Structure 1
Amino acid sequence: MAMSGVCGAALLRVLVLQLAWALVAGQVRYSVPEEAKAGTVVGRLAQDLGLEAGEPEARRLRLVSQGRRASVEVSGASGALVVSSRLDREELCGKSAPCSLRLEVLVERPLRVFHVELEVTDINDNAPVFPAARKNLSIAESSLPGSRFPLEGASDADVGANAQLSYSLSPSEHFALDLQKSNEQNTVPDLVLTKPLDRETMPIHHLVLTATDVGRPPLIGAMGLAITVLDANDNAPRFNQTLYEVQLPESTAEGTLVVRVNATDPDEGINSEMTYTVTNFLPLSGKDVITVNPRTGEILLTSALDFEEVNVFHFRIEAQDKGSPPLSGHCRVVMQVLDVNDNAPEVWVTSLSVPVPEDAAVGTVVALLSVSDRDSGANGRVRCTVWPQAPFGLVSTFAGSYSLVLRETLDRERVSEYDLEVRAEDGGAPPLRASRGLRVPVSDVNDNAPAFAQAVYTVLARENNAAGAELARLWARDPDEAGNGRVSYSVAEIGGGAAVSGVGWRPASSYVSVDAESGRLWALQPLDYEELQVLQFEVRAVDAGEPALCGNATVQLFVLDENDNAPVLLPPAGGGPGAGVAVSTASGAGSTELWAWATWGAPAGQVLAKIRAVDADSGYNAWLRYELWEPRGKGPFRVGLYSGEVSTTRALEEADGPRQRLVIVVRDHGEPARSATATLSVSLVEGAESALPAAGSGSLRAVLRSAEGGASAASASTATTNVWLVVAICVVSSLFLLAVVLYGAARWSPRSAVLSGPGPATFVCASEVGSWSYSQRQSRSLCVTDGPGKSDLMVFSPNFPPPPDSAGRDIQPEAPALLQTVSSVPFLPPSLSRFLPIPPSPLVPHCPSCLPAWQVLV
Structure 2
Amino acid sequence: MFLSPAGGPGSQPLLLWLLLLFAAWQAGSGQLRYSVPEEAKHGTFVGRIAQDLGLQLAELVPRLFRVASRGGADLLEVNLQNGILFVNSRMDREELCGRSAECSVHLEVLVERPLQVFHVEVEVRDINDNAPVFSAKEQKLTIFESRPLGTRIPLEGAWDADVGENGRLTYNLVSNEFFVLDVTSKKDKGKFPVLILHKVLDREETPELKLLLTATDGGKPEFTGSVLLLIAVLDANDNAPTCDSPVYEVKMLENAANHTLLMQLNASDADEGINKEMVFSFSSLVLPIVREKFLINERTGEIKVNNVIDFEEYSSFEIHVDVTDKGNPPMVGHCTILVEILDENDSSPEVLIKSLSIPVKEDAPLGTVIALISVSDRDSGPNGQVTCSLEPHVPFKLVSTYKNHYSLVLDSGLDRESVSGYDVVVRARDAGSPPRWASASVRVEVADVNDNAPQFAQAEYTVFVKENNAPGCHIFTVTAHDADAQENARVSYSLVERRVGGRALSSYVSVHGESGRVYALQPLDHEELEVLRVEVSARDAGAPPLGSNVTLQVFVLDENDNAPWLLARGSGGPAGAAVAASELVPRSAGAGHVVTKVRAVDLDAGYNAWLWFELQAAPAGGARCPFRVGLYTGEISTTRALDELDAPRQRLVVLVRDHGEPALTATATVLVSLVDGGQASPSWSRASVAAGASASASASASAGALGGASSLGDVNVYLGVAICAVSSLLVLTLLVWAAARWSSGAASEGACVSGPAAAAAAALVCSSAVGSWSCSQRRRQRVCSGEGPPKADLMAFSPSLPPCPMSDVNVADQFAELDHAGKVGYKVFTFKFFPNNFLCYFSNIYVTIF
TM-score class, shorter-chain normalisation, is 0.7 to 0.9
Matching residue's letter, 2:341? V
Q: 1:516: which partner in 2?
A: 513
| Alpha-carbon separation, structure 2, partners of 1:394 and 1:10 | 44
Distance change (3 Å), C-alpha of 1:646 and 1:386: same
Distance change (3 Å), C-alpha of 1:142 and 1:24: closer
**What displacement does 1:236 show?**
0.6
Contact 2:603 2:779 in 1 (8 A): no
Q: What fraction of aligned residue pairs are identical, expressed as a percent?
A: 52
Contact 1:638 1:648 in 2 (8 A): yes
User: Aligned runs of 1:822-841 on 2, under 5 Å?
Assistant: 824-825=816-817
Q: 2:695: which partner in 1?
A: none
Q: 1:668 aligns with which of 658, 672, 690?
A: 658
| Alpha-carbon separation, structure 2, partners of 1:528 and 1:11 | 101
Q: 1:626 aligns with which of 613, 626, 637?
A: 613
Matching residue's letter, 1:479? A
**What displacement does 1:447 show?**
2.6
Matching residue's letter, 2:270? P
Q: 1:390 aligns with which of 394, 404, 422?
A: 394
**What displacement does 1:396 show?**
0.8
Contact 2:394 2:424 in 1 (8 A): no
Q: 2:337: which partner in 1?
A: 333
Structure 2 residue matching 1:286: 3-state secondary structure: helix
Structure 2 residue matching 1:217: 3-state secondary structure: coil
User: Aligned runs of 1:543-558 on 2, under 5 Å?
Assistant: 543-558=540-555
Q: 1:560: which partner in 2?
A: 557
User: Aligned runs of 1:632-711 on 2, under 5 Å?
Assistant: 635-687=625-677
Q: 2:64: which partner in 1?
A: 60
Distance change (3 Å), C-alpha of 1:13 and 1:823: farther
| Alpha-carbon separation, structure 2, partners of 1:785 and 1:600 | 27
Q: 1:117: which partner in 2?
A: 121
| Alpha-carbon separation, structure 2, partners of 1:610 and 1:202 | 168
Structure 1 unaligned regions, length at least 5? 1-6, 576-580, 584-588, 695-712, 739-780, 793-798, 800-820, 829-834, 841-856
Contact 2:282 2:321 in 1 (8 A): yes
Give CA-to-partner distance per residue, 1:365-417, whole Å, 9 cap, x none. 12211111121222212111123433211111111111111111222232232
Q: 2:601: which partner in 1?
A: 614
State whether structure 2 residue 146 is matched by structure 1 residue 146: no
Q: 1:260: which partner in 2?
A: 264
Q: 1:497 aligns with which of 474, 496, 499?
A: 499
| Alpha-carbon separation, structure 2, partners of 1:718 and 1:555 | 57
Q: 1:427: which partner in 2?
A: 431
User: Aligned runs of 1:165-564 on 2, under 5 Å?
Assistant: 165-184=169-188, 186-279=190-283, 285-493=289-497, 496-498=498-500, 500=501, 505-536=502-533, 538-564=535-561
| Alpha-carbon separation, structure 2, partners of 1:17 and 1:629 | 126
Q: 1:590 aligns with which of 557, 573, 577?
A: 577
Q: 2:776: which partner in 1?
A: 788
Structure 1 residue matching 2:322: 3-state secondary structure: strand
Q: Which moved more, 1:403-412 or 1:683-692?
A: 683-692
Distance change (3 Å), C-alpha of 1:55 and 1:592: closer
Structure 1 residue matching 2:496: 3-state secondary structure: strand
Contact 1:791 1:826 in 2 (8 A): no
Give CA-to-partner distance per residue, 1:96-155, whole Å, 9 cap, x none. 112222222222222211112122222222222222222222221211222222222222
Distance change (3 Å), C-alpha of 1:70 and 1:679: closer
Contact 1:348 1:371 in 2 (8 A): yes
Contact 2:607 2:819 in 1 (8 A): no
Q: Which moved more, 1:680-689 or 1:481-490?
A: 680-689
Matching residue's letter, 2:660? G
TM-score for both structures, normalised by structure 2 = 0.77
Give CA-to-partner distance per residue, 1:279-336, whole Å, 9 cap, x none. 3778764343222222222212222222223222222221111222211112221211
| Alpha-carbon separation, structure 1, partners of 2:594 and 2:13 | 126
| Alpha-carbon separation, structure 2, partners of 1:204 and 1:17 | 63
Structure 2 residue matching 1:488: 3-state secondary structure: strand
Q: CA RMSD in A?
A: 4.0
User: Aligned runs of 1:673-822 on 2, under 5 Å?
Assistant: 673-687=663-677, 786=774, 788-790=776-778
**What displacement does 1:85 show?**
2.2
State whether structure 2 residue 33 is matched by structure 1 residue 29: yes
Structure 2 residue matching 1:81: 3-state secondary structure: strand
Matching residue's letter, 2:476? A
Q: 1:44 aligns with which of 39, 42, 48?
A: 48
**What displacement does 1:621 show?**
1.6
| Alpha-carbon separation, structure 2, partners of 1:822 and 1:79 | 101
Q: 1:83 aligns with which of 70, 84, 87?
A: 87
Matching residue's letter, 1:405? V
| Alpha-carbon separation, structure 2, partners of 1:76 and 1:24 | 26
**What displacement does 1:787 show?**
6.1
Give CA-to-partner distance per residue, 1:757-802, whole Å, 9 cap, x none. xxxxxxxxxxxxxxxxxxxxxxxx998855632379xxxxxx9xxx
| Alpha-carbon separation, structure 1, partners of 2:726 and 2:330 | 150
Distance change (3 Å), C-alpha of 1:448 and 1:23: farther
Matching residue's letter, 2:604? D
Give CA-to-partner distance per residue, 1:720-772, whole Å, 9 cap, x none. 8888999999999999xx9xxxxxxxxxxxxxxxxxxxxxxxxxxxxxxxxxx
**What displacement does 1:359 show?**
2.0
Contact 1:124 1:162 in 2 (8 A): yes
| Alpha-carbon separation, structure 1, partners of 2:82 and 2:727 | 104
**What displacement does 1:716 show?**
7.8
Structure 1 residue matching 2:484: 3-state secondary structure: coil
| Alpha-carbon separation, structure 1, partners of 2:127 and 2:18 | 34
Contact 1:782 1:825 in 2 (8 A): no
**What displacement does 1:212 show?**
1.8
| Alpha-carbon separation, structure 1, partners of 2:374 and 2:623 | 110
Contact 1:791 1:827 in 2 (8 A): no
| Alpha-carbon separation, structure 1, partners of 2:202 and 2:20 | 77
**What displacement does 1:566 show?**
0.2
Give CA-to-partner distance per residue, 1:228-280, whole Å, 9 cap, x none. 22222111111123333222222212332221212222323332222222237
Q: 1:131: which partner in 2?
A: 135
**What displacement does 1:538 show?**
3.6
Structure 2 residue matching 1:50: 3-state secondary structure: coil
Structure 2 residue matching 1:271: 3-state secondary structure: helix
Contact 1:790 1:826 in 2 (8 A): no
| Alpha-carbon separation, structure 1, partners of 2:15 and 2:195 | 59
Matching residue's letter, 2:668? A
Q: 1:742: which partner in 2?
A: none
Structure 1 residue matching 2:162: 3-state secondary structure: coil
Contact 1:606 1:647 in 2 (8 A): yes
Matching residue's letter, 1:384? C
TM-score for both structures, normalised by structure 1 = 0.76
Matching residue's letter, 2:662? P
Contact 2:567 2:574 in 1 (8 A): no
